[in-house]
Structure 1
Amino acid sequence: MIHLLKEVGRGKRGARDLSYEEAIQAAESILGLQASPAQIGAFLMAERIKMESVEELQAFVKTARKAAHRHPMQGGIDCAAPYDGRKSSFIASIATAFILAAAGLPVTLHGAAALPPKWGVTLSDVFMSAGIHAKALQRDSCIQAAEKTGVLYVHAEEWCPPLKQLRPIREELGMRTVLNTVEKLIDYSSSPFLSFGVFHNTVFDRMTRLMEQLGYQQSMIIQGSEGSDELYIHRPTRTCRMEHGQAVLQMIDPEAFGLDTPVPEREWSAPLQAETTDAVLRGEADMAFIHQVLLNGGVRLHLAGRVLSIEEGIYTCKAVLESGEPYKLYTTWLKMLKKEPQAV
């Protein structure tokens, strides 16, 4: 590990990218905890300063996938948002997932307890506020709920143990590392479609080249709300879609679909996120949040090839939401996961 650390840690001018084979060695040392905490922390910071290459990211993703429990069951879309959570915006992906599932497109969501740098409200926080005990989010329970409803939630640190083991180091560093990207690309259910959130459009080129290497049928990189893969409803969102090996940049403007809506200010907590999700699926929330879910659902249906246009996707999601089926799936999903965990 020391010789690899020297290569990436020579400073801004002297550092070099690792070859794919070298990056595999580094990833195995870090994810296998063969390197010391000091070496791991130093490597993560050196990579942050240097900026990870496509080959390095690919190597870390491949190694993390090998270390993870993966269950190729869904054949749908993987929604990859930052694991550091949200502070100032509605998490639309939960309600969107159940609309998509009701429309016949399975969805995989994944996350963990709050992480740096944001330390925001996470999916797990929302689910616990909805009444699900943390211990109920075990693999078998979540797989059973997915088989019944089409929505799989992956608690990443249970499915990929190295992420749990590395948490103390990440918390001490308190900032973004290569793991913030890698954990979103483990692809727990072997999904052919991916929506991937980023904070800065400067990473579009690297990420599109990485998506091509990872072999998704279709993927979209979205510079969304708080770095998520969710499109804004009050202004255009910058996206980049991979189509047949080509990167296609696109600004998606809600105004073009008659959905642009001012977003009411909220002090977002986990209970409020859960309440708003429930209200959206009942069709009783503020229209800004309903419109946001419809737009995101329409874009994801189009990405997965289930509709011919985003507009058709929006109309499809609207009809599905009005049918009441997404709310039925959501209540079924909650009921299955609210069961008291069995004593071991």
Structure 2
Amino acid sequence: MNMMEILKEVGRGKRGARDLNYAEAEAAAELIMTRSATPAQIGAFFAAERIKMESIAELEAFVNVCRKYAHRFPMQEGIDFAGPYDGRKSSFIATFATAFLVAAHGVPVTMHGSAPLPPKWGITLPLLLQEMGVASETMTHEAATHAAKLTDVLFAASEQWCSPLRELRTIREELGLRTVLNTAEKLVDYGASPYIVFGVFHNTVFDKMAQLMQQLNYRRALIVQGCEGSEDLFIDRPTRTYLLANGEVSLQVIDPEMYGLDSVVPELNWTPAEQLRITEEVLQSTAPLAFSNQVLLNGAVRLFVAGRVNSIEEGLYTCKPLLENGVAWDLYCRWREAMLTNEMKTGAILSEPRLH
């Protein structure tokens, strides 16, 4: 199929449009990811899908085509932290500190993200790295994987690791809408992980996302209606989640009060610098209790998803000493040093005069 034929199917309006089958959606994804379709056609497709809403087959096709054009670095028995690429505006990015807590127990972690995108245009993980002095958009795959080999924490800058996403940024920015890529880019799975925690904004997509996770063959997955649509569980109220395990899906409401962790979250003016400051305070056990408790709860739940503990309670007992004894902080320091060392090497290479 060519793009005009595809647009005739998805662009008939709310009542007339139909879902594409997998082969048709795969063809559309190929045309878009290779830029064989024109910018106008790509924008029209994204807008039409936004009105119609993506089917499971369409999402699966876009995920698989994104993976086809992505660089991947397998993290054995690892867990993927799949949060929103449009970032956060009013909540703590607990997943960043949680990564080092989970990895401190020996579970490889993959994080990924890009510069802010629509519709939220919030604070994203690369902005935290930038605050550390790491320009993730220019970091080589080798530099990121070197840090991962040392610490079991991989950060993949999505537009470096999947170049079609970089090439489509301008169109997405001009549209200003959520598109099919807002879901697909979170599932590229740069670490080839069998486990995933995946954030959603509305609980109406739980069933669809659970079926998609099954199609993508994750061994265990937790779909979280978390802070600002992220994979982070709330600490001041219960969080609705869907757990996929052993081929079965179950609704689980995780209430921090059940574990004596419920806390009042301080109101802060979130900036990348503030996000990084609180992250480092959590890892040094000097942060406000709410943020430390939030990281503990998220760490415990993710160890459970990865099959390393048998319950959330056991996860909390496992995570607490890793945080209090400085093990997670030491791991973060090693990762930061590796990332900064590679940043300096990259900078030196880029600044070397060229011989003519």
Identify which of 316, 327, 330 aligns with 1:328: 330
Contact kept? 1:110, 1:153, Cα under 8 Å: yes
Pairing 1:149-160 to 2, within 5 Å after superposition: 149-160=151-162
Q: Work out the CA distance in 2 between the residues paired with 1:151 and 1:67.
A: 22
Q: Partner residue of 1:343?
A: 349
Q: 1:32 to 1:135 in 2, by over 3 A?
A: closer
Q: Work out the CA distance in 2 between the residues paired with 1:135 and 1:227.
A: 24
Q: Does 1:164 align with 2:166?
A: yes
Given the two structures, how large is their TM-score scaled by the length of structure 1?
0.98
Deviates more, 1:132-141 or 1:29-38: 132-141
Deviates more, 1:191-200 or 1:312-321: 312-321
Q: Does 1:7 align with 2:13?
A: no
Identify which of 294, 297, 300 aligns with 1:298: 300
Contact kept? 2:78, 2:107, Cα under 8 Å: yes
Given the two structures, how large is their TM-score scaled by the length of structure 2?
0.95
Q: Does 1:110 align with 2:123?
A: no
Provide, for residues 283-325 of structure 1, a one-character-per-residue CA deviation record: whole Å limited to 9, x for no partner: 0000000000000000000011100100110111101112211
- Provide structure 2 residue ranges, at least 5 long, that are not aligned to the other structure: 351-356
Pairing 1:1-344 to 2, within 5 Å after superposition: 1-134=3-136, 137-339=139-341, 340=344, 341=346, 342-344=348-350
The aligned amino acid for 1:274 is: L
Contact kept? 2:69, 2:164, Cα under 8 Å: yes
- Provide structure 1 residue ranges, at least 5 long, that are not aligned to the other structure: none
Q: How far apart are residue 136 of structure 1 and its match?
A: 5.8
Give the number of equivalent residue pairs: 344
Q: Work out the CA distance in 2 between the residues paired with 1:99 and 1:138.
A: 25
Contact kept? 2:126, 2:135, Cα under 8 Å: no
Report percent identity of matched pairs: 57
The aligned amino acid for 1:320 is: L
Q: How far apart are residue 246 of structure 1 and its match?
A: 1.5
Q: Secondary structure at the match of 2:279?
A: helix
Q: How far apart are residue 74 of structure 1 and its match?
A: 3.6
Q: 1:134 to 1:56 in 2, by over 3 A?
A: closer
Q: Work out the CA distance in 1 between the residues paired with 2:275 and 2:139.
A: 18
Q: Work out the CA distance in 2 between the residues paired with 1:51 and 1:132.
A: 37
Q: How far apart are residue 133 of structure 1 and its match?
A: 3.4
Q: Secondary structure at the match of 2:349?
A: coil
Contact kept? 2:86, 2:124, Cα under 8 Å: yes
Contact kept? 1:199, 1:223, Cα under 8 Å: yes
Contact kept? 1:24, 1:59, Cα under 8 Å: yes
The aligned amino acid for 1:52 is: E
Show structure 1 runs of 4+ deviating over 4 A: none
Provide, for residues 184-241 of structure 1, a one-character-per-residue CA deviation record: whole Å limited to 9, x for no partner: 0000111000000000000011100000000000001000000000000000000001
Contact kept? 1:138, 1:155, Cα under 8 Å: no
